[in-house]
Chains A and B, each alone.
Chain A
């Protein structure tokens, strides 16, 4: 059951990721990226990270991507034109990418078989420490300093975004 879930949602994630890179109009890439984030949220649930899965959907897929979709709709710049590509790049691009990926996956499979002879089996419920209580406890005790610094970071981002995007005062 976990295997089927993983294969289905990993498949959706990979197909949608390819779609992000391949589509001409940015709005189709944005919708595919939302699909990637949704399927990653399901994979996080499989790995026992329930708070991070909820945060992924609320923050990443539900706020950051809405921002992307807004900017794409407001700018309305249209799809990318196909002019100015070098012939060698369009011929060699995809095969070289596939070859590099296969080499990377083979390396990973080889090394994980050697370093971890008993590869950890992931099943739903194998890790129960990802609840909101556990994350909150760690966030406010061990990681309190990064938490406070990120709050200042967010303030800087808000001020920066407003200053950059406002109309010029006369």
Chain B
């Protein structure tokens, strides 16, 4: 019992630390990718390639004046960002990053806790996240914030329905609500993934669209866009509370991407079994990246590349070598595949943000109720019929 508590505490610290770092650097990735889509460099002054930009942003947000306006409803004003960030981070506690591993003699799962009803837990926690936004809009005592908060909450609860129905279809195939067992049923080759069973790509598309709307991302971000409604529900918030709302949005994005990976893309399972050499894919990727970076550093296009590229190249080659160590492979390989798949979906989020315009609010709500909800319902019906016919 004691070792269980100590191991759990260590896992919590590791996951929390990694998640906070990933949240900060996800913002850097987003700014860089959107900048390159718009043919401009993005942040490049603070540190090499702008890599210290998140640090500068954190320092700026912490040292900004934390102004609580006198006309707000204090209890709800202070509780709303806390509620938003808590619910966003709570979903990560049931996500499995890999299989059972051996660390210093103790066998433990790469997951904080496995619940029998893990999928329902994540749905419940994301339903509670609506309150952070609604109460923020109300407590700010500001008509633009109230309208933004109400619109955002209405959008989130409208898209929860197609989201739940799109989740139910692969659950019918995998026959379990526990996230760990969900990955176990997709073990093996790539065609075992839930995405490639029949017409589950419909569920995947519905899930991704509903996931965009749940996290208030473009093209569904009218309630919080900078040039609409002043700034939406977080108009009256400053410094760390404002930062909490943004961290909550990115954490929600990470949760939706992790759920898409677990439900449809097979979680931490490699596309083909390790016996056929899938363990060498990360080695190959990092080695090629390292060699290319070092070569570019030696024949630089910009003068400062001579100093910044070679260290990165050396780091990449070291990481490639680490993936070859057999003792670490059982933990690192599943983690690599999970992060690769989740990263691909996060890149999709960022890519679409840089590409598509945003929906008008009535178009958004009409799309949810008139198109997405019937499609999700018909998809669930058809999946159920097919499973009943073939079992």
Judged by CB atoms under 8 Å, the answer to whether A and B touch is: yes
Taking beta carbons and an 8 Å cutoff, which residues of A are in contact with B?
27-28, 31, 34, 50-51, 54-55, 57-58, 61-63, 66, 69-70, 73-74, 131-132
Q: Which of A27, A61, A73 contacts B128 (CB 8 A)?
A: A61
Q: Is the CB of B76 within 8 A of A69?
A: no
The listed residue (B76, B127, B137) touching A58 by CB distance below 8 A is B127
Cβ-defined contact, A31 with B135, below 8 A: yes
B76 & A74 in contact (Cβ 8 Å cutoff): no
Are A63 and B157 interface neighbours, CB within 8 A?
yes
Residues of chain B at interface, number, CB under 8 A: 26
B interface majority secondary structure: helix
Taking a contact as CB atoms under 8 Å apart, the answer to whether A27 and B127 are in contact is no
Q: How far is the CB of B143 from chain A (nearest CB, A)?
A: 10
A106 to chain B, nearest CB (A): 36
- Interface segment out of the listed B26-34, B115-123, B249-257, B282-290: B115-123
Are B120 and A54 closer than 8 Å at their CB atoms?
yes
Closest to A133 in B: B177
Q: Are A57 and B150 in contact (CB under 8 A)?
A: no
- B146 at the A interface (CB under 8 A): yes
Query: Are the C-beta atoms of B127 and A70 separated by less than 8 Å?
Result: no
Q: Within 8 Å CB of A74, what residues of B?
A: 150
Q: Are A54 and B135 in contact (CB under 8 A)?
A: no
Closest beta carbon of chain A to B153's beta carbon, Å: 7
Distance in angstroms from A43 CB to nearest chain B CB is: 15
Q: Please indicate the chain A residues that have their CB under 8 angstroms from the CB of B121 in the complex.
A: 54
24 examples of A-B residue contacts, CB within 8 angstroms: A27-B73, A27-B138, A50-B115, A51-B120, A54-B121, A57-B125, A58-B127, A62-B124, A62-B127, A62-B130, A63-B157, A63-B160, A66-B130, A66-B153, A69-B131, A69-B134, A69-B135, A70-B154, A73-B138, A73-B146, A73-B150, A131-B116, A132-B116, A132-B117
Establish whether residues B116 and A66, one from each chain, have CB atoms under 8 Å apart when the complex forms: no
**Central interface residue in A51, A57, A131, by most chain B CB within 10 Å:** A57
Establish whether residues B123 and A50, one from each chain, have CB atoms under 8 Å apart when the complex forms.
no
CB distance from B272 to the nearest CB of A (A): 33
The residue in chain A whose Cβ has the minimal distance to the Cβ of B164 is A58
Chain B residues with CB below 8 A from A69, complex form: 131, 134-135, 138
Q: Are B116 and A57 in contact (CB under 8 A)?
A: no
Q: Which residue of A lies closest to B149 (CB)?
A: A73
User: CB distance A54 to B76 under 8 Å?
Assistant: no
The residue that A54 contacts in the complex, of B75, B117, B130, B153, with Cβ under 8 A, is B117
Contact A57 B117 (CB under 8 A): no
A34: chain B residues within 8 A (beta carbon): 131
Query: In the bound complex, do residue B131 and residue A58 qualify as a contact, i.e. CB atoms below 8 Å apart?
Result: no
Residue of B nearest to A69 (CB): B134
User: With A66-B157, A69-B134, A73-B150 in contact, is A57–B76 under 8 Å at CB?
Assistant: no
Please name all residues of chain B whose beta carbon is closer than 8 Å to the beta carbon of A50 when the two chains form the complex. Answer: 115-117
Q: Point out the residues of chain B lying under 8 angstroms from A62, CB to CB.
A: 124, 127-128, 130
* Chain B neighbourhood of A55, CB < 8 A: 120
> In the bound complex, what is the Cα–Cα distance between A58 and B121 (angstroms)?
9
